[in-house]
């Protein structure tokens, strides 16, 4: 695994300042930051961001995007997440679907979807996880049967973020039986219209009362041939190729930055040595993980596919996020009060309820460490 140190260029730093100034102008003074991927679904904010050219930045100009580098996109995303901005409407489409369409999609798909994604008008969910399957994507039981002009899709997906609000989902399903015991064979990705006949979306209430993840039942949903993403039977290879985009970004370590800043607002000048040590330790760890994530972004920009490095960043980053919540909870002392007088009180309560999910979504810690261990074993031979 290679993580090359990579500083930002003057132009990239200038972009950071521009995004930060714009956010300071558009977000209200009493704005409550979201927790990274758990930020709010705000179509109006997404469209305003798109007008600045900051949605679908890596989409080439011929498809309506900015044609920006992976690192310039990283800079914008980092500032949005640091502010806790409401980016949920376009997040999956911008982060994962657009790169997949550029790499595997047909020209017709690119011409239709990419301009809409870049305009902040087309929102996607991911249809991967299934009941009783855990993190084992190869065990998917959702099937797609060939019919005249397309496919009939039947199955159930769970933990499908914002499927009740979004327009489409890229669904991983089985299009042919696995052969020779290879569970990864015979999987394909289909673009499913979430408003189509046979799609039933049911929110799954979380422990904090929020309903942004869903169960999606697909009951014989028709998907035309032109909505197959990539090659039939190559779904596993395609999903694997996407993981570097999903697992390595700032969203994997910045969920707690709002909490950290709120803690500093209350305790930043506290002379207590334990609190001072906690502040310094969190800051140092955050900067180190950020450098790892930036190195992966630069690698992606250079056309590489650092899937193993991305898995390590996701593991380290989400574990760090959980540790920050526990550390700040301990050193702050007192009862957790979601209706407390400070932003720190309210964000801490929200983080305590949500933190257990951070090492689950996007691949569990055990799965990610298995990926890293296999790569290290191969390199040692």
Helices and strands in the chain, H and E counts: 12, 8
- Please enumerate in sequence order all residues whose Cβ is within 8 A of that of 93, keeping only pairs 6 or more positions apart, or say none: 56, 117, 122, 123, 124
Tell me the sheet residues that pair with 352: none
CA–CA separation, 14 and 106 (whole Å): 35
Answer yes or no: 18 catalytic.
no
Please give the Cα distance from 87 to 56 (Å, whole number). 12
Q: How far apart are CA 52 and CA 84, in angstroms?
A: 18
Name the residue among 228, 235, 146 with its Cα closest to residue 188: 235
333 contact partners, CB below 8 Å, separation of at least 6: none
* Strands 187-193, 228-229: pairing kind: antiparallel
The DSSP 8-state label assigned to residue 303 in this structure reads: T
Active-site position among 79, 246, 309, 321: 246
179 phi, psi to nearest 5 deg = -110, 145
Q: Dig out the tokens for 317 from the structure.
A: 């980053």
List helix spans (H) across the chain.
10-26, 43-51, 70-83, 91-92, 98-104, 107-118, 235-247, 257-267, 273-301, 307-332, 343-354, 365-380
- Residue 189: both structure tokens together: 């990705």
Sign of CA dihedral 149, 144, 245, 381: negative
Residues whose CB falls within 8 Å of the CB of residue 245, separated by 6 or more in sequence, listed in order: 95, 96, 99, 300, 310
What residues are annotated to the active site?
246
């Amino acid at each position: 695994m290679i993580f090359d140190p990579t500083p930002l260029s003057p132009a990239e730093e200038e972009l950071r300042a521009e995004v930060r100034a714009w956010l300071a102008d558009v977000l209200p003074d009493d704005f409550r930051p979201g927790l990274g991927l758990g930020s709010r679904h705000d179509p109006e904010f997404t469209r305003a961001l798109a007008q600045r050219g900051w949605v679908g930045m890596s989409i080439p100009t011929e498809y309506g995007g900015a044609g920006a580098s992976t690192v310039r996109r990283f800079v914008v995303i980092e500032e949005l997440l640091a502010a806790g901005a409401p980016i949920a409407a376009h997040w999956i489409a911008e982060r994962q679907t657009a790169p997949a369409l550029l790499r595997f999609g047909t020209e017709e798909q690119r011409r239709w979807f990419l301009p809409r994604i870049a305009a902040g008008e087309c929102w996607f969910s991911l249809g991967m996880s299934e009941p009783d399957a855990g993190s084992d994507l190869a065990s998917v039981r959702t099937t797609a049967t060939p019919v005249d002009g397309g496919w009939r899709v039947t199955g159930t997906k769970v933990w499908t973020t914002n499927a009740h609000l979004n327009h489409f989902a890229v669904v991983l399903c089985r299009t042919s039986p696995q052969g020779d015991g290879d569970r990864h064979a015979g999987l394909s990705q289909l673009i499913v219209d979430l408003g189509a006949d046979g799609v039933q979306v049911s929110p799954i209430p979380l422990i904090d009362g929020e309903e942004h993840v869903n169960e999606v039942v697909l009951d014989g949903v028709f998907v035309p041939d032109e909505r197959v993403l990539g090659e039939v039977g190559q779904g596993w290879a395609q999903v694997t190729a996407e993981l570097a985009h999903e697992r390595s970004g700032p969203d994997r370590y910045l969920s707690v930055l709002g909490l950290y800043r709120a803690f500093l607002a209350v305790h930043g000048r506290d002379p207590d040595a334990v609190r001072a040590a906690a502040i310094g330790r969190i800051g140092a760890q955050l900067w180190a993980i950020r450098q790892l994530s930036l190195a992966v972004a630069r690698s992606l920009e250079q056309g590489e596919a650092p899937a193993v490095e991305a898995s390590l960043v996701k593991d380290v980053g989400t574990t760090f996020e959980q540790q920050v919540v526990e550390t700040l909870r301990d050193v702050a002392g007192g009862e957790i009060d979601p209706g407390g007088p400070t932003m720190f009180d309210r964000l801490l309560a929200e983080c305590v309820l949500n933190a257990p999910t951070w090492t689950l979504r996007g691949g569990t810690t055990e799965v990610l460490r298995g990926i890293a261990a296999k790569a290290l074993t191969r390199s040692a031979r």
